[in-house]
Amino acid sequence: MSQSKPIVLITGASAGFGAAMAKKYNANGHPVILTARRFDRLKKLTQELDSNFPIHIAQLDVTQKNDIEQFIKALPMTMRNIGILINNAGLALGLSSFQNADELDFETMINTNIKGLIYMTKRILPFMLNNNMGHIVNIGSIAANWPYPGGHVYCATKAFVQQFSRTLRCDLQGKNIRVSEIEPGMSQTEFSLVRFKGDEVKANEVYAGNSPLIAEDIANIVYFTTTLPPHININTLEVMPTCQSWAPLSIVSQSL
């Protein structure tokens, strides 16, 4: 089978944005490489995909450099010509104020949202440089731009994603490699369930009475971003559901 569409590598593909993007690209004839820590979820996902197009799945923790290197070595030769990398793996943990938050949660967010993104990009980029073409899409967050109570480390990691994406684009100027960062607002995925460590009541309260973004919305936006003519680069795209907007600045009266 000849491959006329770029091979797409998606991290964190077992659920949410990642799974929706896997379905979107597969439905449009792209070979897909799907990675996640939860291999059983990846296997289940493949049952929903069109097997007429190449699919490769792998259990992978992006925070582990050696695991990424072994994953690359194990890629079939027919799936090594990666044209689109979507760094989707990421998470938020907890919503306590900084002074009361768990330091282990800080480390997990930093390792996944920052180090994992760096490790994966560093090791996939040579394929694109060799071909003088490619597209890297980093999934950020509106938290990069708009702080909120309890966001501290998570917001900071997403600010990193934003600036890393921009400076990476500077470094790749003239290499015919596009770099885009997509910044979703409130989205109803497993995000809040993970943030509240499996507490479904708390997670559901986030979305109650609202019409948040859903995974398919972001999948459609990412797909659109990567299928534009090659002379167009979406640098940063911030998207909120219509029900979400900015709030007034918080003011607390204090006697000095």
Q: Which residues are catalytic?
A: 154
Q: Which residues pair with 136 in a beta bridge?
A: 85, 179
d(CA 211, CA 195): 20
Picking from 52, 72, 68, 50, the residue whose alpha carbon sits closest to that of residue 60 is 68
**∠ CA(44), CA(124), CA(59), 5° rounding?**
25
Q: Are 220 and 24 in contact (CB under 8 A)?
A: yes
d(CA 201, CA 1): 48
| H-helix segments, 12-79 | 16-27, 39-46, 65-73
Picking from 83, 70, 67, the residue whose alpha carbon sits closest to that of residue 33 is 83
SS3 92: coil
Which residues lie below 8 Å from residue 27, measured CB to CB, with a gap of 6+? 50
Which residues lie below 8 Å from residue 26, measured CB to CB, with a gap of 6+? 32, 49, 50, 53, 55
Q: Are 50 and 27 in contact (CB under 8 A)?
A: yes
Q: Tokens 């990567």 identify what position?
A: 226
